[in-house]
Structure 1
Amino acid sequence: MSRGTRGFLQKARLLCSSNLTLKCARSGLQRACLTQQSRGVKVLGSEIREGNVVERKGRMMEVLKTQHTQQGRGGATIQVELRDVQSGLKSTERFRTSEAIEKVFCEEKTYTFLYIEGDNVFLMEPSTFEQVEVSKSMFGNGAAYLTDGMSVSGQMADGRLLSVAVPQRVTCKVVEAEASYKGQTANPTYKKVVLDNGLQISAPNFIDAEDMIVVDTTDNSYLTRAKA
C-alpha cells in the first residue's frame, strides 16, 4: 500500500470517528433537551408563584398559596399549599428559598364557561369550539363565581389540562346586607353581605343590597365598589 493511500485511509478514519462523536453528542443533546422539555426547569423556591405547576415525587402539583417566612438561623423558607392535579388532593409543604424546585412548562389556554352538570364543568375552546369537560373540584372555591360566557384560564402540559381558574377579580351583586348604623361610617367597619352567587363575605358598612362590588376570588375578599 502506497504512502498516499495510507494517508488517505487515516484521514477517512479520523473523519468517520469525528462524525460519530458529533452524532453521539447531538443525540445526547437532543435527549437532554427532550428531558428538560418534558420535566420543565429548575427554579429556586423563592421564585415559586401561585398558579405554577411543580413536580414533586413524580407527581404534578399546582401551587395554590405561598407564604414566605423567616426562621432565624435556619434561613428563609416558603410554605406552599399544593393540589395534586390528578387526584385533587391538597397538601402543604415547606421549601427553602434556595432549594431547587422543578417547575413544569405549561401552555396557557383560555376557555369559555358553558355550564355545570353534576360535579362536572363544561368549557369551550374559543378558536376550535371544542368542548372540554373537567371536574368541578379543579376550580376549588372559585367554582361559585362561574357565570355564563365567563373566560377562564387553563394550564396544559403533555396535552393534558392540569389546572383551571376563574379571573382573580370579578364583579358581583349584593342581594342581602346587614343594616347599616349611623356613626359606623367614620371607621372602616365591616358587615356580612350575601352575593348573587350565594356566598357570604365581609364588606364595608356603606355597602347595601343591590350594590355591585368587586371581589377577589382567591380569598372571597371585598376589593372595591364596582364602577357604574
Structure 2
Amino acid sequence: MQILRRKLLEASRRLPFYFPSAPTAHYRGHAHAVATLAAVLRDQTAGSLAAAPWAAIQRRGAKMLGSEVKLGNVIQRRVLWITTYPIPLVNLQGRIYQVIKAQHSHQGRGGATIQVELRDVDTGNKITERFRTDEALERVFVEEKSFTYLYQEGDNVTLMEPETFEQLEVSKELFGKTAAYLKDEMKVTLQYFDGRPMSASVPPRVTCTVVEAQPHSKGITAQPQYKRVLLDNGLTVLVPPFVEAGEKIVVSTADDSYMTRA
C-alpha cells in the first residue's frame, strides 16, 4: 500500500501546475489516470477489491511475512504500471512466482532479510529478490495431486495416477535438483496452478545407499569430523565418520543433508 501511495504521489507531481479553462486531451488523460489510481487505493483501503483492475484475476491466498517464506511457496507480486500516452491507463498486474531458493541473512544495522530466487510460473524466467523478514507478502495456494513415479526418458518423467492408472508425462525440470532422488514406485506430488502442473516434489526424506566412502579411522578429536560419500543416485553428501560403503542412510531432500542410518 505504501508503494501504491508513493506511485500516486509521483504521478500527481507530473501534472501541469496550471489549470487551463479548456484542458488539453493530454492533461485530461493524465488527470484521469491519476484519478483512477486514487480510486483503486480508496477501494483497497475500504476493503473492497471489486473495482480494482486486478480483481478479475485475483487468486485465493493469504498474507504471510518474509520470515515465513520457504522453498516451494507460491507468492503473488504486483507490478504497478501508469501510462498516459496514447491512452490513460492504470494497471495493477499480479504475477505469480514460485520460491526455488530461500536464504535468511542479517545485514548489520539493516535488519534481518531473506534473499529468494523466484521462478515466474507463466514465463519460467527466474529473478532474485530480497525481502524484509517483517514484509507482508501474499501467498497463493495451489492444488496438489499425488502420483507414482514410473520412469525417466530424456528430459521427461512419466508418472502414474494411483487410482485411475492413467499415465502423465511432465518435464524433469519441474522437480529441480530433487530429480536425482527419483526411484521406481516413489510417491511424488505435483503442484497445479490454473489447471496445469507448475512444480513437482519428492518425499522430504529418502533412503539412499552409500556406494563409496573412505574407511573410518578411529581417533579422538575435539570436533566431530564429517566425510563426503557417494550415493547410488550420484550425489555426494557429508556424513559422520562411522558411515561405511554399502550402508543405507536417510537423506533430507531439501538440503541433501544426512539425517540418520536407515
1:130 and 2:166 are equivalent in the alignment: yes
What SS is found at the alignment partner of 1:180? coil
**Which residue of 31, 48, 69 corresponds with 2:69?**
48
Q: Compared with structure 1, are the counterparts of its residues 120 and 185 closer, same or farther at alpha carbon in structure 2 (3 Å cutoff)? A: farther
What SS is found at the alignment partner of 1:173? strand
Q: Compared with structure 1, are the counterparts of its residues 126 and 159 closer, same or farther at alpha carbon in structure 2 (3 Å cutoff)? A: same
**What are structure 1's unaligned runs of at least 5 residues?**
1-27
**What are structure 2's unaligned runs of at least 5 residues?**
1-49, 80-93
C-alpha RMSD over aligned residues:
2.7
Q: Which residue in 1 is equivalent to 2:118? A: 82
Q: TM-score, normalised by structure 1?
A: 0.75
C-alpha distance after superposition, 1:25-58 (max 9, x if no partner): xxx59x998644x363443323322221112354
1:119 and 2:155 are equivalent in the alignment: yes
Q: Which residue in 2 is equivalent to 1:10? A: none
Question: In structure 2, how many angstroms separate the alpha carbons of the residues matched to 1:209 and 1:185?
Answer: 23
Question: In structure 2, how many angstroms separate the alpha carbons of the residues matched to 1:182 and 1:75?
Answer: 44
1:199 and 2:220 are equivalent in the alignment: no
What SS is found at the alignment partner of 2:168? strand
How do residues 14-53 of structure 1 correspond to structure 2 at under 5 angstroms?
Answer: 35-36=57-58, 38=59, 40-53=61-74
Q: Which residue in 2 is equivalent to 1:222? A: 258
Equivalent residues, number? 197
Q: Compared with structure 1, are the counterparts of its residues 89 and 183 closer, same or farther at alpha carbon in structure 2 (3 Å cutoff)? A: farther
What SS is found at the alignment partner of 1:183? coil
- Structure 2: which amino acid aligns with 1:47? E
What SS is found at the alignment partner of 1:127? coil
- Give the structure with higher Rg (CA): 1
Q: Compared with structure 1, are the counterparts of its residues 137 and 97 closer, same or farther at alpha carbon in structure 2 (3 Å cutoff)? A: same
Question: In structure 1, how many angstroms separate the alpha carbons of the residues matched to 2:220 and 2:168?
Answer: 48
Question: In structure 1, how many angstroms separate the alpha carbons of the residues matched to 2:259 and 2:148?
Answer: 25
Q: Compared with structure 1, are the counterparts of its residues 148 and 42 closer, same or farther at alpha carbon in structure 2 (3 Å cutoff)? A: same
Question: In structure 2, how many angstroms separate the alpha carbons of the residues matched to 1:186 and 1:153?
Answer: 43
Q: Which residue in 2 is equivalent to 1:174? A: 210
- Structure 1: which amino acid aligns with 2:155? D
Question: In structure 1, how many angstroms separate the alpha carbons of the residues matched to 2:72 and 2:55?
Answer: 25
Question: In structure 2, how many angstroms separate the alpha carbons of the residues matched to 1:204 and 1:195?
Answer: 14
Q: Which residue in 1 is equivalent to 2:141? A: 105
What SS is found at the alignment partner of 1:115? strand
Q: TM-score, normalised by structure 2?
A: 0.66
What SS is found at the alignment partner of 2:141? coil
What SS is found at the alignment partner of 1:46? helix
- Structure 1: which amino acid aligns with 2:214? E
